[in-house]
Amino acid sequence: MKNALSILIISFIILTLSSGVRAKDANKEIVTKDAAVAEILNKADVYPNPAEDHIFLKISEFESISNIKIEVMSIIGTKMKVTHEKIDSGLFKIDLSDIPTGHYYLLLTVDSEKSLKKFLKK
């Protein structure tokens, strides 16, 4: 019975770590790379909202992220644009002048982590 319980606990810890979630041991907190990237993406700011001709995406701690993909998606999932203009470290300007008025998402992808940011185009 002890062996089965030990195997179950070890399996849970491995599953938790492999899915990029935080795990704690008695003295320290272990954060995997995926969890750290997900947290950075979730804290990203999109402004102005509502937007007119362009929107800005500000990502704090951008230096810890490499290779970000930014997509403008319609509310029903149609890919409208995959482009951005990096202005400064962690600041992106996305041109919306050729996109009709409506509700949209910015889909941010880094490695296997994704985050959606909702905005309104006037």
Give tens-digit pLDDT for 7-55. 444 444 444 444 444 444 444 444 456 778 888 888 899 999 999 999 9
Sign of the dihedral through C-alpha 51, 53, 55, 56: negative
Domain shared by 40 and 24, yes or no: no
Straight-line distance from the first to the last Cα atom of the chain, in angstroms, rounded to the nearest whole number: 63
User: What is the secondary structure of 3-47 as a DSSP string?
Assistant: HHHHHHHHHHHHHHHHTT--EE-SS-EE--HHHHHHHHHHT-EEE
Please tell me whether residues 9 and 48 are part of one structural domain. no
For residue 53, the cross-strand partners are none
One-letter amino acid at 90 equals G
User: Using one digit for the tens of pLDDT, what is the confidence trace for 86-118?
Assistant: 767 788 899 999 999 999 999 998 888 889 999
Do you find a cis peptide bond into 100, omega within 30 degrees of 0?
Answer: no
List CB contacts of 40: < 8 A, sequence separation 6 or more: 59, 60, 61, 62, 64, 65
**Domain span holding position 114:** 33-121
Is residue 39 located within the same domain as residue 68?
A: yes
Q: How far apart are CA 119 and CA 72, in angstroms?
A: 10
pTM of the model: 0.67
Domain identity same for 23 and 53: no
What CATH number is associated with residue 96?
2.60.40.10
Rounded CA-CA distance 57/75 in Å is: 18
Q: Could you give the number of structural domains in the chain? A: 2
